[in-house]
Amino acid sequence: MNAPPDVKLYRTHMHILEAFTTYYELTRDETARSRLVELIFVQSSAMVRKPLGACTDWYRRDWTPLRQR
């Protein structure tokens, strides 16, 4: 997956979301909860492409979807 360094990837976001979820479940740390809420907001507002009913893999820094090369 040869993504340029300025591209955000859905997979990376999902792995971070999973890690924060597990960390929060174990610690109940409020900072982790806050970051988890932010990650969920990004996914629900920017990553889920409502016309498609799915997420795409590549995004610009502002979460605008890109076509994969």
Residue in the structure block whose two tokens are 């990553």: 47
Q: Assess if residue 16 is contained within a domain.
A: yes
Q: pTM above the 0.75 mark?
A: no
Per residue in 7-66, pLDDT (tens digit) is 888 888 899 999 999 999 999 999 999 999 999 998 888 887 777 777 888 888 888 888
Q: Assess if residue 49 is contained within a domain.
A: yes
Q: Assess if residue 2 is contained within a domain.
A: no
Number of domains, the chain: 1
Under DSSP, the state recorded for 57 is S
Q: Assess if residue 17 is contained within a domain.
A: yes
Q: Assess if residue 15 is contained within a domain.
A: yes
Quick check: 17 and 43 in contact, CB under 8 A?
yes
Its domain, for residue 13, covers 8-55
